[in-house]
Structure 1
Amino acid sequence: MIVSIFLAIIIFLTLIQAAIPRLLKKTIVFGVTIPELYVEDEKLSSYKKIYSTITLLVGLLGILLLAFWGFGSQLREETFVIIGLIIQFSILITSMILYLYFHIQTTKRKREMKWGENLKKVRVADLASRSNDEMLPSFIFALPMAITIGLIVYTVSQYSAMPDMIPTHWGPNGQPDAFSEKSPFSVIALLLILLVVQGMMVAINTFTKKSGVKLNAARRNSSRIQQLSFRKYTSWFMFLTTVLLTILFGFLQLTTIHGEFAGSMMMMVLPLGFFLIILLATAFYAFKVGQGGSRIKTEVIDEETPGITDLDDDQYWKAGVFYVNKNDPSIFVEKRFGVGWTINFGNPIGYLVMIGPLLIIFVISFLL
């Protein structure tokens, strides 16, 4: 079972990493803004092909090695897990090195070719489109929190009947493999972590919803549709993740309270189902939607607007990955490499929304 799980993760990771250049807006290449006129440049296309090919080959090598060690040798489970993690990090590090190299090459080519110097730079922020925004309202994200609070109340009421040792970690087979002594804190620690994650999702959805709808200056009509679709799918993806986490954590909590609540088969099947649904949802989100909705097909015809390009804000993107702009009130902005959103590191609220909950989770885990 552990072999199949790691193989699925590495296959998924390889495909996503290799496909990233094709999932992004054409006007963003390795974190660099490219005017619409030059997005089909042969050099840029070759950079994307080399990145995808090398990443794919490294991933395939990792898959073959993992399959060989998993099915063709008698490695201990702990050793196999370490090897699996090493292979995953190798794929990520390889893709990161390739990204940084081609980021530098793309920046150099843009500068040498003087792309955009003779074009009028325009930033199009469509505030009117917010009225058509189909992102889920934040109170919907708060509903799972009510379930978690209810589970906390129920756990307190069942405290005397709970076992002396409380599970704090579950292995790949769904069985607990780490425990903490029973205490008023340890019996609800799992639910407290879930509550923190749910609160973080509410905050992310709220601040993402407030971010501006940035349109492509040369393709305003089609990019408006793509942006709104991207925001809608992002919101639903986050909500699905929140619901699945609530179901999983709630199930684990109930099995702690009532040992007979589920058999060994259910303990293994439910986490695997959670894992499978998350992978499929992530794949759908990435390949169907793309960054900024770039893969959403539209039948809208854009009016020709010659001589303009998007405002170049490359100076605010460190290595094309970290957005640092104190003058931008947005807390979340679209990633430049990858699908989804990242925080504005120039806005202190972003640290509070993302890092604050992680610190709380770390403290809760440390105290167990």
Structure 2
Amino acid sequence: MMYFTQALSGKRQFYSVSLNSDYFTKEEFKSLDKKFKLLLTIGFIAFIIITLISIYIFKAYLASSIIPILGFCIYQFIIFVYIHNKVKTKKKDLSLEINDLELQRTKIILDTDFINEKNRIIKKYSILFLAPLIVNILVSIYLSTQYNSLPDIIPTHWGFSGQPDAFSQKSFFSVFGIVLMSIGIGIIIYTSSVNSLKSRAKLSYVNINESKKAHLNYLSKIAFTFFILN
């Protein structure tokens, strides 16, 4: 999914940066797209190797299901932000010399009602996005109080039937590892979700009211999608 992130983006979005379609054909942006895919592929292969080493050499079965997954999530988040910033810088540089591009002029309109409504949606879902993190933190606190009373062998995985199908010796890592992984991934998703909602909106001044309504509707739906993901 991350590899095809650009293909799944809007026609005017390039790694979460608003661009005119004329920019997409420029070699600078094609090169950044290839660089992202290359870095992502290298990281994916590296974390597969780490997983296999954890399983077959160190026999760290539980660690192999937690550390590489969390590590790869953090890694792909970092390289996405890296490419995103590169695209913004390149856009700024090219905007100074756009003689060869035929770009549509855009009016800038400051609408406080629209901004307030947008901020209301962002604030509402920013609070809702915290719910999974709070649940994980509460689970972690509860586990801390019950740690000494846990048996020496504990279940670490459950099948579709709800019955445990994998077990491990009780240790700090086996008890808290999965919870900490969930918190780590939750922080990544929370950060990317909130920042995505805060991105600037481009409205059509031909029919400004309909454009504002459409954007707020889109913002609400994408925010709800992020909430389900969280």
For Structure 1 versus Structure 2, the TM-score category normalised by the shorter chain is 0.3 to 0.5
TM-score normalized by the length of structure 2: 0.47
TM-score normalized by the length of structure 1: 0.33
